[in-house]
Chains A and B, each alone.
Chain A
Amino acid sequence: MRPVLRAPRSSRRAASAAIAALLAAVAVGCAPQPEEDASGSASASASASGASCAKGELGTKTSGKLTIATDQPAYEPWFKDDDPKNGEGFESAVAYAVAKQLGYDKADVVWQSVPFNKAFAPGAKTFDFDVNQVSISDERKKAVDFSSGYYDVRQAVVALKDSPAAKATSIADLRKLHLGAQVGTTSLDYIDDVVKPTQDAAAYAKNDQAKSALKNGQIDAIVLDLPTAFYVTAAEVTDAKIVGQFENQGGTPEQFGLVLDKGSALTSCVTTAVDALRADGTLAKIEQEWLSDAVDAPVLK
């Protein structure tokens, strides 16, 4: 009896030893390269020494190139013809202006397609900065770095011309409507925090779906940023109109910023570049060129 019983025990021991060895092997095999540490210390030293923003010699992902990311499709008026590389459209123009400021020629700029909700994932980034109409907020600053703002954005309400929603003149008028917006946008926050409608807002994965819901009468109005609202009413849903725009809430205006990895060594240099572009009037010129009609929409109070 006993010897027979003993055999399994030893085999069990062998098995447990094997498991332990396997786990140890896994632990060693998975041990990742300490790349985060390297970039972290690099950024620390860079920001400590006041940042060396020497023209064209930044520590970019690909040396000598500036990798810029945006989502796909890239919408007008921020980009033109879904092609960021052509330098047309507001954000494409801003991106190339920033690149030039940092000392990179047009040929040195490499575009990358990165979905919005992947742009802020932890781990190594594949881009130097992301330009995707991302509003700067303190909450988001916990997850990523932002450059200073390159555009003061206002939110606008779009409704079909012949609908009752088109006659709204105040925020109180909007309250009883069924409103929609794209998920992950400040537009949705405006509905929840400013309008506070009686009916829960509809949240769409893309503005395209919000637009078709508006056309189909599934919602009364959509909220989006003003330049996009102008494009939507001018080109995409032509029987819709801009009901009005919201005033900025609180003291600081809502601004779009370039998104950089948390603790990126480039943040201060990119911020300096954006500030310089604002100071010398380049940003105003680009805005005039691509977003000129986003000025005279009635303000909803």
Chain B
Amino acid sequence: MTVVKEEPGREDADGDGGTPDADDGYVPSRRRLDRERYKRDRARRATAVAALSTLVTAVVLYLVVVNAPGWPRTKETFFSAEYAREAFPKVLEGLWLNVRLLLICGVAVLVLGMLIAIARTLRGPVFFPLRALAAAYTDFFRGLPLIINLMIVVLGVPALRLQGVTVDPVLLGGTALTLTYSAYVAEVFRAGIESVHPSQRAAARSLGLTNRQALRHVVLPQAVRRQVPPLLNDLVSLQKDTGLVSIGGAVDAVRAADIIVGRSLNYTPYIVAGLVFVALTIPMTRFTDWVTARMDRQRAQGGTT
């Protein structure tokens, strides 16, 4: 693979000329064939060494764990196939709650966070109250421990007995998550917006764009690209924290595991729940990588910025 990709450039540099096209009667020189074979050998060798060293590492780690004096009991307590089978469907059922919360809160957080970030970056004295409010909001909710925020919203708001306000722990919990996470995300957006060089805004303004158009068409597109990795971080955190709505009694993946652990005194369901979350995070990371790569490609083709 790599040979074919690299060779043409190399050959040109060597002055051999020619393309690897069969029709033009090109026959690779003996030297080239030797070189290719040598490279293939080295590549195979490298793969073999890597595989062997990985295998040795795995075996050593395995032996260290398995030969630990407490291993039989640890295995029974944390890796019991029987409890894993029992826990899996219930954990998945609970996970559905986490996923729904993630999707709905995720969207709400992005929208609210963006609005707050824009409010904080508005210029002009008229907007001072808005800026101050947005700053106060981010300061407060970023500082307030999420668990306390959840307690106040999930357990405290229903205590007010307001007409027409829900007592559903999931809705209330989702609200609390959105409050805290939009404060984090607003700061990510703000950092992104402020990281765009002022000359970009100045150039947009000098082309006759209004402040709003400059923000929409010039500043934000550049800012968002830089925000993707930290935003993903916050999204993964949010995904794991969705489980905290179980404070209000809702049964999410972790609480579903809790229930089985409490009855059996066996920790395997926690392992199952943990793996399920990891399995959810990995595709999300790959998806974001893909989106970022695509955005970068588009930018390269567009030739702008």
Q: Which residues of A contact B (CB under 8 A)?
A: 5, 12, 16, 19-20, 23-24, 26-27, 30-37, 117, 120-123, 137, 139-140, 142-144, 180, 183-185, 188-189, 200, 202-205, 209-210, 212-213, 215-219, 262
Selected contact of B74 from candidates A16, A30, A33, A122, CB within 8 Å: A122
User: Is there contact, CB below 8 Å, between B56 and A23?
Assistant: yes
Determine the residue in chain A with the shortest Cβ distance to B167. A218
Interface residue B77 (Cβ < 8 Å from any Cβ of A): yes
Given A216-B158, A216-B159, A217-B158, A262 and B259 touching (CB < 8 A)? no
Provide the residues of chain B in CB contact with A27, threshold 8 Å: 60, 63-64
Provide the residues of chain B in CB contact with A200, threshold 8 Å: 251
Given A142-B264, A188-B262, A202-B169, A213 and B73 touching (CB < 8 A)? no
Which B252-290 residues sit within 8 Å CB-CB of chain A? 255, 258-259, 261-267
Which B19-57 residues sit within 8 Å CB-CB of chain A? 42, 49, 53, 56-57
Selected contact of A139 from candidates B155, B250, B263, B267, CB within 8 Å: B263
Selected contact of B64 from candidates A26, A33, A120, A218, CB within 8 Å: A26
Determine the residue in chain A with the shortest Cβ distance to B45. A9
Q: Which 8 A-B pairs have the closest CB atoms?
A: A184-B262, A202-B249, A143-B265, A216-B158, A120-B265, A23-B60, A122-B73, A36-B69
How distant is the Cα of A252 from the Cα of B49 in the complex, in angstroms?
A: 62
User: Is there contact, CB below 8 Å, between B265 and A203?
Assistant: no
Q: A36-B73, A122-B73, A217-B161 are in contact. List 16 more A-B contacts (CB 8 A).
A: A19-B53, A23-B57, A33-B69, A117-B262, A139-B263, A183-B262, A188-B263, A189-B263, A202-B249, A209-B248, A209-B249, A213-B155, A216-B155, A216-B161, A217-B158, A218-B249
Provide the residues of chain B in CB contact with A32, threshold 8 Å: 68-70
User: Is there contact, CB below 8 Å, between A16 and B49?
Assistant: yes
Selected contact of B167 from candidates A26, A184, A216, CB within 8 Å: A216
Provide the residues of chain B in CB contact with A140, threshold 8 Å: 263-265
Interface residue B121 (Cβ < 8 Å from any Cβ of A): no
How distant is the Cα of A70 from the Cα of B73 in the complex, in angstroms?
A: 23
Give 22 CB contacts A-B under 8 Å: A12-B49, A19-B56, A23-B60, A26-B64, A27-B63, A31-B67, A33-B69, A36-B69, A139-B264, A144-B265, A183-B255, A183-B262, A188-B259, A202-B249, A203-B249, A203-B255, A204-B247, A209-B247, A213-B155, A213-B249, A218-B167, A218-B168
Provide the residues of chain A in CB contact with B149, threshold 8 Å: none
Determine the residue in chain A with the shortest Cβ distance to B77. A122
User: Is there contact, CB below 8 Å, between A30 and B167?
Assistant: no
Selected contact of B259 from candidates A26, A203, A209, A212, CB within 8 Å: A203
How distant is the Cα of A12 from the Cα of B49 in the complex, in angstroms?
A: 9
Interface residue B200 (Cβ < 8 Å from any Cβ of A): no
Provide the residues of chain A in CB contact with B292, threshold 8 Å: none
User: Is there contact, CB below 8 Å, between A203 and B251?
Assistant: yes
Provide the residues of chain A in CB contact with B49, threshold 8 Å: 12, 16
Determine the residue in chain A with the shortest Cβ distance to B267. A121
Which B144-184 residues sit within 8 Å CB-CB of chain A? 155, 158-159, 161, 167-169
Closest Cβ of chain A: how far from B275's Cβ, in Å? Answer: 19
How distant is the Cα of A12 from the Cα of B46 in the complex, in angstroms?
A: 10
Provide the residues of chain A in CB contact with B155, threshold 8 Å: 209, 212-213, 216
Closest Cβ of chain B: how far from A31's Cβ, in Å? Answer: 8
How distant is the Cα of A120 from the Cα of B73 in the complex, in angstroms?
A: 11
How distant is the Cα of A262 from the Cα of B72 in the complex, in angstroms?
A: 13
Determine the residue in chain A with the shortest Cβ distance to B249. A202
Interface residue B246 (Cβ < 8 Å from any Cβ of A): yes
How distant is the Cα of A34 from the Cα of B67 in the complex, in angstroms?
A: 11
User: Is there contact, CB below 8 Å, between A213 and B259?
Assistant: no
Closest Cβ of chain A: how far from B78's Cβ, in Å? Answer: 8
Selected contact of B169 from candidates A20, A26, A215, A218, CB within 8 Å: A218
Listed residue (B69, B155, B249, B262) with the most chain A CB atoms within 10 angstroms of its CB: B249
How distant is the Cα of A33 from the Cα of B69 in the complex, in angstroms?
A: 8
Closest Cβ of chain B: how far from A139's Cβ, in Å? Answer: 5
Provide the residues of chain B in CB contact with A184, threshold 8 Å: 258-259, 261-263
Selected contact of B77 from candidates A143, A180, A202, CB within 8 Å: A143
Determine the residue in chain B with the shortest Cβ distance to A12. B49
User: Is there contact, CB below 8 Å, between B249 and A219?
Assistant: yes
